[in-house]
Amino acid sequence: MNFFIYLKVRFFFLFGLVILTLSILSITFPFTAKARYSAIIVDSDNGKVLYSRNANTPRYPASLTKMMTLYLAFDALSENKIKLNQKLFVSKRAEGQTPSKIGLRIGEEITVENAILAIISKSANDAATVLAESLAETEILFAKKMTQKAKQLGMKRTNFRNATGLPNRRQKTTARDMSILSRALLDNHKRYYHYFSTKKFNYNGRVYENHNQLLTKYKGTDGIKTGYIKASGFNVAASVERDGKRLIGIIFGGRTAKSRDKHLSKLFDNAFQNSKSKSKINIPRFKPIRRNI
């Protein structure tokens, strides 16, 4: 009998030790389930922050990076350095970009406007590379211009390393910084902002639907961009206008595109309701992505 008691004591001791170890790991391991979640909701007119969670914490932007790629393209268009109907050459590097892409081939040409639409709808990495190489000698030099522009706009915690958002450990931003970029696109490039509301893009006999499902599923949404890499989770920057009031929302670290959009929709709902009632915003709970450790 004493032997069985000994086994029971030993079992519960080992079980408790395992639980304790897992608890410690969950606290100290840098990639916990909540590690990648960030969010911010701002009033587009005055920049007032209506909701913020980890908004200044560095995150991987993924394809939200392309918002700055497009910003510089819009700069060039505004300064008459390029034209919408201008044809751009597709390089070997552009052709070799990993998906998402529209299958551009070396030696082909694509117009500036089609490159913009491909980036916004399909989040095409090949088209983003074509734009970058057309606006600078190399993508590396273009990325430096992206970072310089970010600093000029007040994006203090942002560093770009490429034009696509493909994985690079040094390419970081924050939810707050991406809200600044979103406002800058709205304020400084009103002439071209309408491209972000494109729901479908036809190119070479194929139809590409915009990855931003909020355009069709959340009333008042007219942009801006989604993004995903494994290290970031599902990201989104969105702009919504209702009854003359425009809000910008940024989410980093969604488990899925659907859960990310649902969470952001709730944040927008509460923010719009609060703007009418002037009451405290009720913050919906967000289930962050899970990461295998």
Predicted pLDDT of residue 137: 87
Phi-psi domain of 257 (left: phi exceeds 0; alpha: psi -120 through 50; beta: other): alpha
- Token pair belonging to 133: 């190489």
Q: For 259-269, what is the mean pLDDT?
A: 98
pLDDT at 289 over 80: no
**Pairing state between β 221-229 and 206-209:** unpaired
Question: What does DSSP assign to residue 18?
Answer: H
pLDDT of 1 > 80? The answer is no
b/e per residue 225-241 (b: at least 16 CB within 10 A): bbbbbeebbbbbbbbbe
pLDDT tens-digit readout, 135-154 = 998 999 999 999 999 999 99
Backbone angles phi and psi of 241, in degrees to 5: -125, 130
Instruction: Examine the residue annotation and report whether 265 is marked as an active-site residue of this protein.
Output: no
**β-strands 109-111, 87-89 pairing:** antiparallel
Report the mean per-residue pLDDT for the chain: 88
- Catalytic: which of 38, 44, 63, 265? 63
Spatial distance between the Cα atoms of 200 and 77, rounded to a whole number of angstroms: 23
Residue 207 has pLDDT above 50, yes or no: yes
Rounded CA-CA distance 261/142 in Å is 31
Residue 280 is a catalytic residue: no
What is the average pLDDT across 47-60? 98
Residue in the structure block whose two tokens are 């709808």: 121
Sequential DSSP letters for 64-119: GGHHHHHHHHHHHHHTTSS-TT-EEEPPHHHHTPPSS-----TT-EEEHHHHHHHH
Asked if 212 and 198 touch (Cβ cutoff 8 Å), the reply is: no
Cα distances from 230 to residues 52, 61, 80, 166, 176, in angstroms, run 23, 11, 38, 10, 21
Query: Using CA atoms, how far apart are residues 121 and 106, in angstroms rounded to an integer?
Result: 22
Q: What is the pLDDT of residues 109-128, one digit of tens each?
A: 999 999 999 999 999 999 99
- 36-277 has which fold? Beta-lactamase (3.40.710)
Quick one: pLDDT band at residue 34, thresholds 50, 70, 90?
low
The reported pTM is 0.83
Task: State the catalytic residue, choosing from 66, 101, 122, 149.
Answer: 66
pLDDT at 15: 55
For residue 275, name the pLDDT band (cuts at 50, 70, 90): confident
Q: SS3 string of 225-262?
A: EEEEECCCEEEEEEEEEECCEEEEEEEEEECCHHHHHH
Give per-residue pLDDT as tens, 161-185. Answer: 999 999 999 999 999 999 999 999 9
Weakest-pLDDT range from 33-47, 58-72, 100-114: 33-47
List 91, 100, 121, 123, catalytic entry: 123
Active-site residue, 66 included = yes
Strand (E) or helix (H) holding 145: helix 139-153
